[in-house]
Amino acid sequence: MLSYAQIPFEIVVSHVEEYFNERNDPNEIVQALALQKAEAVANILDQDAVVLGADTIVTIDNQILGKPKNETEARKMLKQLSGREHIVYTGVAIVSAEESTTFYEETKVQFWELSDEEIDNYIKSGEPFDKAGAYGIQQLGSILVKQIDGDYFNVVGLPIARAYRELKSFLK
């Protein structure tokens, strides 16, 4: 997505374990996880590197839906989201050797009512397993979504317009 904003970048995976206290506010959780990821990568790169880290979670009924570990979890999440509104939070951290900043975006998403067959077919696609809330809006999961209120790219995993502006400000 950074290529949309014509920002040169290199992808470096952080390998940070995603542990968090579910009692914290979702916006605090995603910002903390994004910062952990960005700092982990910054520690292995050159001093002049600027690192952008991001983390996304889905919430419904005051419950955090992470990435499903198996078909049973994916099915449970998709049934819970079916026909309902949920909130997607993405935290972003920008880190350099001298400073860091974080921000978050939230987007409301409403799903269509999903039949068991639709859920099963989506699970068979394999798409749910590396996605918070068991869906990816940018791929086949787009047919599950009835409406969004907020930044589409936030649901994809990086609110690119805001990230671009924050990065521009950070580099001044």
Catalytic position from the list 48, 55, 149, 151: 55
Contact 116, 124 (CB under 8 A): no
CA 149 – CA 80 distance, rounded (Å): 19
Nearest Cα neighbor of 76 from 23, 22, 135 is: 135
Nearest of 150, 148, 82, 151 to residue 109 by alpha carbon: 148
Q: Annotated catalytic, 149?
A: no
From residue 125, give the alpha-carbon distance in Å to each of 83, 107, 113.
21, 25, 19
Residues across the chain: 172
Give the residue numbers marked as catalytic: 55
